[in-house]
Amino acid sequence: MWVVADIYEAELSQIRVGMAATLTLTAFPGRSFQGRVHFLEPVLDPKTRTAKVRITFANPSGELRPELFGDVLLKSALRKGLLVPSDAVLDAGLRKVVFVEESGNRFTPREVKVGVAAGAMVEILSGLEKGEKVASGAAFLLDSESRLRSAAAPGK
């Protein structure tokens, strides 16, 4: 049985033919079905920014039927990386910024390059080192204060 799932543009680089997939369906609570990615559409839907991925599942008992709705979990290889809460990263248009804690509970803005977002976390590719503390949650308040100080600085 083929199952077609939508994959967001930002996640496409992690999807490979042959990777493991788990299907859960509302029709079968508490059960899951194991399959493999069979084909990845080469074209994105311009409205949803997703691509279709076709996943093959064994269906010897005929339980899986067309038009059932469910969730697919694709299992990619783990990799090491630096993660921060997604609300710690401010999108400043052309750049992404985090506020890094300096001495004395002072925070300074620092530009970072981000990678993949996973739930409430985002990968930091550069601009931050392991062990550095970043502000999250109320970072927008720090950003506002920083902008106010910058605007009020002499010579502006």
Q: Can you tell me the mean pLDDT for 121-147?
A: 77
Q: Last residue of a domain, which of 30, 45, 74?
A: 74
Q: What CA–CA distance (Å, rounded) separates 58 from 41?
A: 21
Q: Please say whether the beta carbons of 76 and 129 come within 8 A.
A: no
pLDDT confidence bin for 148, thresholds 50/70/90: very low
Q: Last residue of a domain, which of 42, 74, 106?
A: 74
Identify whether residues 11 and 66 lie together within a single domain.
Answer: yes
> Which of 6-10, 12-16, 141-145 has the weakest average pLDDT?
141-145
The secondary structure element, H or E, covering residue 118 is strand 107-118
Question: Which residues contact residue 56 at a Cβ distance below 8 angstroms, ignoring those fewer than 6 apart?
Answer: 1, 2, 3, 35, 36, 38
Residue 103 Cα distances to 70, 107, 109, 146, 147, angstroms:
49, 8, 14, 17, 20
pLDDT digits (tens, 9 = 90+) for 57-74: 999 888 999 999 999 998
pLDDT confidence bin for 152, thresholds 50/70/90: very low
Q: What's the domain range around 64?
A: 2-74
Q: CB neighbours (10 Å) of residue 127?
A: 17
Identify whether residues 97 and 70 lie together within a single domain.
Answer: no
Predicted TM-score (pTM) of this structure: 0.57
Q: Can you tell me the mean pLDDT for 43-61?
A: 93
130: CATH = 2.40.420.20
**Mean pLDDT over each residue of the chain, to the nearest integer:** 85
Q: Please say whether the beta carbons of 51 and 9 come within 8 A.
A: yes
Sheet holding 2-8, edge to edge: 2-8, 50-57, 33-40, 20-25, 70-74
Q: Could you give the number of structural domains in the chain?
A: 2
Share of the chain above pLDDT 70, in %: 85
Q: Can you tell me the mean pLDDT for 130-139?
A: 80
DSSP 10: G
Q: Which residue has the higher pLDDT, 135 or 19?
A: 19
Identify whether residues 68 and 92 lie together within a single domain.
Answer: no
Among 140, 75, 80, smallest CA distance to 115 is for 80
Q: Last residue of a domain, which of 27, 42, 74?
A: 74
65: CATH = 2.40.30.170
pLDDT digits (tens, 9 = 90+) for 82-104: 999 988 898 878 889 888 888 77
Structure token digits, residue 96:
């992404």
For residue 19, pLDDT beyond 50: yes
